[in-house]
């Protein structure tokens, strides 16, 4: 008999959809601070630049780590028993690549082309910039784009990872969760012990570029974050997860952010926050599954979550574009707040346009070519299946199913985005 939770209704993870935008917003805050270090002096006071950067130095990385764990979780939650790897990869390609290419082209037009050579531009276009220990390559066009290069590796590996993780007995899932967490925490330690230091980071003079690259950017160590999300999803689905609720999970995540001020960057960006991130994701999914109220499951937050992938890709380019359109000069502290508020508003509008005109039409039209043929066929002697529901990453082709349909030994395999 299955040890998975016995549910009779389809669960949409609207809380996790709503949580996506705060995670993207903290990346926005960090990139606003990073502008001054990358040649966009939008603050007139150097002390203000330093103060602001110190305040948000690792918050963007917390958001990225949250996204990586979330990706593994929602892909597993929305996985289909009858799915195949080619179908999964097709959906991922259509979900990710059109938006990514448009964002890449916008960044080239707005600021990157004059300062980016062809090799770096092409490496970024084809999402392989994350395999080179060189920040000029990693962040050479759109600074936010590197994480999609990492996600691409996640998607390639997902069918294999899920195939093996579903074989883990339910009573052993949390042991595997603990082991993967230990591996994540050990990664920065191993990077400092085994990777030659080389040059130091401009923004973090005490941190090695090579060691930071190995711990934070290189895809293979980050696969552990993704695998953690898969394992946590399986644990929740099997009823083995020790849920502490969204409030305490949120408190722990905030505490991990504060703790990050007292730890080296290669720890604060990932190792310190990964446990609270996993706890919060699981708590949000359980709250949705049980139908309990959360502040992230409302129309506004879900809409912002739906456009968050587009927002993540375009926000940096929009910030630079707004600064240029308003005169390319430095601002007082108060005026700089207004500048960033204007950039935020424009980025949301641009993200909505990208989501409405590109992302959603493409995924609906081409993600499941067989669905329209099936819908056109006459249905006799059966009740029509419910319409597909969007999963936590805004993937319109994912179909969450009752947990009762997900046996502990079943395949749970497919889809959402960065």
Domain residues for the domain of 348 are 14-366+389-405
Helices 146-165 and 59-77, axial angle in degrees (round to 10): 40
- Does residue 265 lie within any of the structural domains? yes
pLDDT of residue 369: 65
- Does residue 160 lie within any of the structural domains? yes
- Does residue 36 lie within any of the structural domains? yes
Paired tokens of 416: 């959402």
For the chain, 418 residues long, the average pLDDT of each consecutive 10-residue run is 40 92 96 80 80 89 96 94 91 96 96 93 97 93 95 97 96 97 96 92 88 96 98 96 96 95 92 97 95 94 97 96 89 89 97 97 82 47 33 39 36 32
pLDDT of residue 367: 76
- Report the alpha-carbon distance of residue 129 to residue 145 in Å, rounded: 9
pLDDT of residue 3: 42
- Does residue 116 lie within any of the structural domains? yes
- Does residue 164 lie within any of the structural domains? yes
Helices 14-34 and 333-354, axial angle in degrees (round to 10): 130
DSSP string, 103-119: HHHHHIIIIIGGG--HH
pLDDT of residue 370: 59
What digits encode the pLDDT tens for the residues 113-166?
998 999 999 999 999 999 999 999 999 899 999 999 999 999 999 999 999 999
pLDDT of residue 395: 44
What digits encode the pLDDT tens for the residues 360-404?
999 998 877 655 554 444 443 333 333 333 333 344 334 333 343
Cα 401 to chain center, whole Å?
A: 23
- Does residue 362 lie within any of the structural domains? yes
- Does residue 382 lie within any of the structural domains? no
pLDDT of residue 372: 52
**Among the residues of 355-403, which ranges form H helices?**
360-366, 369-376
- Does residue 4 lie within any of the structural domains? no
pLDDT of residue 201: 87
Please provide the size of the chain in residues: 418
| Domain count of the fold of the chain | 1
Place of tokens 């707040």: 337
Strand, helix or coil for residue 200: strand
């Amino acid at each position: 008999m299955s040890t998975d939770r016995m549910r009779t209704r389809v669960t949409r993870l609207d809380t996790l959809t709503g949580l996506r935008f705060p995670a993207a917003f903290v990346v926005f805050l960090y990139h606003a601070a990073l502008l001054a270090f990358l040649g966009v002096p939008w603050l007139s006071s150097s002390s203000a630049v330093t103060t602001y950067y110190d305040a948000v130095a690792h918050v963007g990385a917390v958001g990225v780590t949250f996204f990586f764990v979330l990706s593994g979780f929602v892909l597993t939650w929305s996985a289909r028993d009858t799915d195949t790897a080619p179908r999964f990869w097709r959906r991922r390609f259509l979900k990710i690549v059109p938006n990514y290419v448009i964002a890449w082209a916008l960044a080239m037009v707005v600021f990157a082309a004059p300062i980016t050579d062809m090799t770096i531009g092409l490496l970024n276009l084809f999402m392989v910039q994350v395999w080179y220990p060189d920040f000029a390559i990693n962040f050479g066009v759109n600074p936010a784009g590197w994480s999609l290069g990492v996600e691409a590796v996640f998607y390639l590996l997902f069918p294999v990872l899920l195939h093996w993780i579903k074989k883990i007995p339910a009573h052993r899932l949390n042991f595997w969760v603990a082991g993967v967490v230990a591996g994540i925490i050990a990664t920065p330690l191993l990077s400092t012990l085994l990777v030659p230091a080389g040059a130091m980071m401009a923004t973090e003079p005490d941190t090695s570029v090579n060691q930071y690259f190995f711990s934070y950017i290189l895809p293979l160590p980050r696969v552990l974050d993704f695998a953690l999300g898969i394992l946590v999803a399986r644990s929740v689905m099997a009823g083995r997860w020790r849920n502490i609720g969204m409030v305490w999970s949120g408190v722990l995540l905030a505490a991990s952010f504060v703790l990050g001020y007292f730890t080296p960057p290669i720890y604060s960006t990932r190792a310190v926050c990964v446990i609270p991130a996993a706890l919060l994701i699981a708590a949000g999914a359980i709250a949705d599954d049980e139908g309990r109220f959360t502040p992230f499951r409302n129309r506004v937050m879900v809409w912002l979550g739906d456009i968050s992938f587009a927002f993540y890709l375009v926000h940096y380019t929009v910030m630079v574009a707004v600064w240029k359109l308003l005169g390319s000069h430095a601002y007082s502290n108060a005026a700089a707040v207004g500048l960033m508020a204007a950039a935020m508003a424009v980025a949301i509008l641009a993200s909505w346009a990208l989501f409405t005109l590109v992302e959603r039409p493409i995924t609906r039209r081409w993600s499941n070519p067989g669905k329209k043929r099936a819908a056109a066929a006459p249905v006799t002697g059966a009740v029509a299946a419910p319409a597909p529901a969007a999963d936590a990453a805004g993937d319109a082709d994912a179909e969450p199913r009752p947990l009762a349909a997900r046996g502990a030994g079943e395949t749970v395999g497919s889809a959402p985005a960065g």
